[in-house]
Amino acid sequence: MSNILEKIDVVRERTGCSYEEAKKYLDLNDNNVVEAIIAFEQENETIKEKYIVSGENVLKRIKELIKEGNVRKIIVKQDNKTILNIPVNYGIVALVLAPFLAVIAGVIVVTQKYTIEVDRE
């Protein structure tokens, strides 16, 4: 049983999908992790965007992206080092993200440049 759970975890980690979706794609692809990820990506094509922002504008930009909707994942990086990786799942609201935003605020240095990578549906 742990083998299927490990496969589900890998699919979820790579795609940001739910447990149910990961299980569905694994079932449809004979429990082949790579094929499940490819199938997910083909059905859920994402648009990738990057924004370079200064420290004081990181929180503002993240909030704007969440309000825009259709965002699947937000990654905040500094010098190619990932500071925060937030999968924005279906039905998530800003209140749920408040702890993440507090973490970002505590880590961000105002004088630094950050890259925000966004995966959209």
Instruction: Annotate 29-70 with DSSP letters as a single string.
Output: TTT-HHHHHHHHHHHS--EEEEEEEEGGGHHHHHHHHHHH--
Give the model's pLDDT for residue 21: 92
User: Residue 94 burial (CB < 10 Å; 0-12/13-18/19+)?
Assistant: exposed
- Tell me how far apart the alpha carbons of residues 82 and 61 are, in angstroms, rounded to a whole number: 17
Which tens digit of pLDDT belongs to each residue from 5-55? 999 999 998 888 889 999 999 999 999 999 999 999 888 776 788 888 887
What phi and psi values does residue 59 have, to the nearest 5 degrees? Answer: -60, -40
pLDDT band at 77, cuts 50/70/90?
confident
Helix, strand, coil % in the chain, rounded to nearest 5: 50, 25, 20
Q: What is the DSSP letter of 89?
A: -
Asked if residues 73 and 86 have their Cβ atoms less than 8 Å apart, the reply is: yes
pTM of the complete model: 0.52
- Tell me how far apart the alpha carbons of residues 8 and 115 are, in angstroms, rounded to a whole number: 29
The domain limits of the chain are 2-43, 47-120
